[in-house]
Copies of this chain bind each other. A is one copy, B any other.
Amino acid sequence: MRISELSVVSGVPVPTVKFYLREGLLAAGDARAVNQAEYGDEHLRRLRLIRALTDVGGLRLREVRAVLAAIDDELMPLHDLLGVAQYALVRGGPNESHPPADDSGGATSDVDRLLAEMGWHVNAAAPSRRSLAQAIFTLRELRWDVSIDDLVRYARAVDDLAAEEVATVPDHGSRSQIVEHMVVGTVIFEAVLTALRRLAQEHHSARRFAKRPRLANDARR
């Protein structure tokens, strides 16, 4: 198909497609004539993946680039794939410029204790260890009491989900399909989980706080 059709089918505007082509995120089409290239299903698939990462995952361009590089790197051993694909996803969020230098609350050692408690074996360099330690450190800085037991409850809630997510990764298909599955699973189901938690919070919050005014009225009678 031509670039105009690729745009219609993917829902991505032509200027955006051209931008991705210039940035090297999308491979060039097959040249058919001067100023005319042909695009196939691989292009459509890659375009949808880029859109998923940016629109749903909220990833920035350089993060998308890192993830696509991990997908395309044929030399990466399969058992390292998820880790590396994940590591590429760790965004500027947990800010490198403000490391929890004063780890007085022992946030880092709490992460170690939690992992031991859960029986999780995780690379010492996994960026999520650091993200988690920083979140715990920040909570304590804001005078928020957070114990290992609290963390264990959160960890248990995601343990089965993660196990099932990993179990659904196909062990057939091309290497790039497997990595793509992992990355999509990580990014999009993260968005699913975040949205669901917020919907649940709104429901429970309304149940708790919407009652208030009525109770106040009752007391006044």
Q: Which residues of A contact B (CB under 8 A)?
A: 11-12, 45, 48-49, 51-52, 54-58, 77-79, 81-83, 86, 91-95, 98, 101-102, 115, 118, 120-123, 126, 128-129, 131-132, 134-136, 138-139, 141-142, 144, 151, 153-155, 157-167, 169, 182, 184, 186, 188-210, 212-213
Contact = CB atoms under 8 A, between A and B. Distances in A.
B160 A93 contact: no
21 contacts: A52-B138, A58-B94, A79-B210, A82-B202, A120-B202, A121-B203, A123-B202, A126-B199, A128-B199, A129-B195, A135-B188, A135-B191, A142-B188, A155-B199, A157-B161, A162-B201, A166-B205, A166-B207, A167-B204, A182-B205, A193-B193
Given A58-B92, A79-B209, A94-B56, A198 B184 contact: no
